[in-house]
Amino acid sequence: MNAIAIDIGASYLRGAIISRKGKIQKYLKIETPQRGHSGKIVTDSVIVLINALLEDFPEEKIKGIGIASIGPINRKGEIIQAPNLPFKKVLVKEPLENYFSLPVIMHNDCAAGAWGEKVFGWGKKCKNFVYITLSSGIGGGAVINNRLLIGRGNASEIGHFNVNSRHNFPCSCKKGKSHWEAYCSGKNLPRFFKYWLRVNKIKRDLPAKTVESIIDGASKSKDKNLTDFMKEISRINGLGVSNVIAAYDPEMIIFGGGMVLNRKNQKLFLSNIKKNIDEYMDPVKVKVTRLGDQVTLYGAAALVFYPPE
């Protein structure tokens, strides 16, 4: 049997047919609609994507549809007020079930990623771990005593942990300040860099305007501004991870997301994060996901084959 795995992201809708053993049989990607009268256009695009996936696979060999989605989501299977989508609400689960007559299981993308790690990745032999993505945003999913932590649908929103930074910098979610994501996510790191320069009264041209240029500049050059700034990012990342350890007491932390999957960034991020974890915390293993940038798709398939309790 196979599962249809769908990842609903702010920029792309990704889909795959994945076997019970974790083999990706077919993979497709389309852009996420950004304009329309309602969120229905997103769901309609997911239907188009699934139909394209099914062209080579008869429905009777499909066990179900797993959805890993940006959030927040609710238990009805709706995306509600996602900060990275232009629609207040996107109803996903019910329309897909009605259209395809297949069971649909939907979770937050990072929760799904954690479940993918439990079924197919480093978490197979680990009872307690947290999956963290460092990407355009910062998100997490927790498996505690072999169970996926779900709450009301959006448990483990670690990107909005207050890291108690000295800067009190506003988050792009517009609902708080000093959130981990406000400082260290790909979307916000360049914004924080401009603020950091201003607060430290550093006047300079800004050739480093993107997260890639800032990271490259810090790792390749002797630019003191960039290296000092990345030390501050490492300090804040260490605070964020310390909060995760305090909250969930994991045996292992597994990192994913574009900012750490890029191999040249791993030393800059992970080794410095380890150095900045609070000393009183119990030591944990730190890994980079071996499922690559498909971790959420693996998670969506895992939801179908092994639904969490």
CB atoms within 10 A of CB 190: 17
Class for the domain spanning 2-102:
alpha beta
- Identify which of 297, 308, 244 has the alpha carbon closest to the alpha carbon of residue 120: 297
**What is the average per-residue pLDDT within 204-222?**
74
Strand 147-148 relative to strand 138-144, pairing: antiparallel
Average pLDDT over all residues of the chain: 90
In the structure encoding, which two tokens stand for residue 26, read together? Answer: 């077919």
- Interatomic CA distance for residues 153 and 160, integer angstroms: 15
Q: Is the pLDDT of residue 114 over 90?
A: yes
Q: What stretches of the chain adopt beta strand conformation (E)?
A: 2-8, 12-19, 24-31, 62-69, 78-80, 89-91, 104-108, 129-134, 138-144, 147-148, 252-256, 285-288
Q: Is the pLDDT of residue 153 over 70?
A: no
Give the CA distances from residue 189 to residues 11, 85, 185, 232, 266, in Å, rounded to whole numbers and listed in that order: 19, 20, 6, 11, 17
> What's the distance, CA 129 to chain centroid?
15
pLDDT, residue 85, reads 84
The per-residue pLDDT for range 73-106, each reduced to its tens digit, is: 888 899 987 777 888 899 999 999 999 999 999 9
The structural domains of the chain, with segments of one domain joined by +, span: 2-102, 116-293
Class for the domain spanning 116-293:
alpha beta
pLDDT, residue 82, reads 79
- Interatomic CA distance for residues 129 and 286, integer angstroms: 10
DSSP string, 236-277: HHHHHHHHHHHHH--SEEEEESHHHHSHHHHIIIIIHHHHTS
**What is the average per-residue pLDDT within 292-303?**
97
pLDDT, residue 206, reads 59
- Identify which of 38, 3, 9, 41 has the alpha carbon closest to the alpha carbon of residue 22: 3
Nearest 5°: phi and psi at 147? -115, 140
Determine the longest span between alpha carbons in the chain, in angstroms: 64
SS3 label, residue 122: helix
Burial class of residue 156 (count of CB atoms within 10 Å of its CB; 0-12, 13-18, 19+): buried
The per-residue pLDDT for range 27-53, each reduced to its tens digit, is: 999 999 998 888 999 999 999 999 999
CB atoms within 10 A of CB 24: 14
- Interatomic CA distance for residues 155 and 140, integer angstroms: 9
Contact 159, 110 (CB under 8 A): no
- CA 47-57-303 angle, to 5 degrees, is 65
116-293 has the same fold as 2-102: yes
**What is the average per-residue pLDDT within 245-257?**
94
Cis peptide before 72 (omega within 30 of 0): yes
Predicted confidence band of residue 244 (pLDDT cuts 50, 70, 90): very high
- For helices 189-199 and 224-248, the axis angle rounded to 10 degrees is 120
Q: Is the pLDDT of residue 132 over 90?
A: yes
DSSP letter assigned to residue 23: -
Q: Is the pLDDT of residue 268 over 80?
A: no
